[in-house]
Amino acid sequence: MTNLNEKQLITEIVGLARSQGLTVHSENAQLNETGMDFQVVFAKDDTGMPWVLRKPRRSDVVERASAEGITLAFLRANLTADVPDWRIHTPELIAYPMLKGTPAAGIDLEQKQYVWNMDHQPPSDDFVRTLADILAELHGTDQISAGQSGIEVIRPEDFRQMTADSMVDVKNKLGVSTTLWERWQKWIDDDAYWPGFSSLIHGDLHPPHILIDQNERVTGLLDWTEAKVADPAKDFVLYQTIFGEKETARLLEYYDQAGGRIWAKMQEHISEMQAAYPLEIAKLALQTQQEEHINMALEALGVTSD
């Protein structure tokens, strides 16, 4: 994107905020284009307070943002970690004061890789322990209250069935390699992997959504678009993809110590969920219908295009 386009986008998004009575300024504002759902501008108001301004990329994002707003209101009352406090929430714009802390990593769009703001080979003990504490607290929140507040609740048997249905849908619409399909079916059919309970999950837990302080302790979590009451293993899949099985075992150990609920085949279940991650990419591709996303999904599914 050219600087001129960036400038125009910043001006447009700042203008949306100002029309809602938020006096933020274009000078020194920064544009972040790394998110698939939102274009984001960081700008300061008259007092120098930094704000996060999120403009939805597509109409389907607006609907899910409504659910995210409900989730955040519940979390602010039930979670000790920092979460965004939306002051503006319209179909055109979401705005909230920037939280303290630094994302554990950013994303380099050109290189398609993380740019780390912490030691990550391996992560520090402070990082792992505080992340485990927050996940145990999040997963331990009362599901009935969460459901009553309007958060989507998916029972364990329904989550499993939905996963199986997604597999069939993706196979029919995009295809999937025989090896991957057979692995998925073995996992779906084996009761030993699957937990008999659901938990309130973040749903998209990767480094850009994890805020840390200068000691690499986790202070807050961003981007709750995918939050729901569902299978708790989902919050460990991206962690294992990035850091590997040994580091995930360390996180699970601290999670267990912090009161997180684990089961015998939890880590194996995380590994199988990781092998089914192409489903997530495929579902996004089918939703957006963008060629880049479709190609990414086909590659992940092991489908060779002629």
What's the Cα-to-Cα distance from 61 to each of 248, 257, 258, 262, 288, rounded to whole Å?
31, 37, 34, 33, 10
Question: Which amino acid does the sequence have at 161?
Answer: Q
Residue 305 in this model has a pLDDT that exceeds 70: no
Distance CA(188)–CA(170), nearest Å, equals: 15
DSSP 38-84: EEEEEEEBTTS-EEEEEEESSHHHHHHHHHHHHHHHHHHHH-SSB--
Task: Catalogue the E-assigned strands of the chain.
Answer: 30-32, 38-44, 50-56, 88-89, 94-97, 102-103, 105-108, 113-116, 199-201, 210-212, 218-221, 228-230
Instruction: Out of 204, 223, 231, 235, pick the active-site residue.
Output: 204
Position 306 pLDDT exceeds 70: no
> Exposure of 167 by Cβ count < 10 A (0-12 exposed, 13-18 middle, 19+ buried)?
buried
Predicted pLDDT at 64: 86
pTM, rounded to two decimals = 0.91
Q: Is 204 a catalytic residue?
A: yes
Contact 87, 95 (CB under 8 A): yes
The confidence score (pLDDT) of residue 1 equals 44
Backbone angles phi, psi at 190, to 5 degrees: -100, 110
- 152-167, pLDDT tens digit by residue? 999 999 999 999 999 9
What would the pLDDT profile of 242-251 be if each residue is shown by its tens digit?
A: 999 999 999 9
Q: Looking at the predicted structure, is the pLDDT value of residue 254 above 60?
A: yes
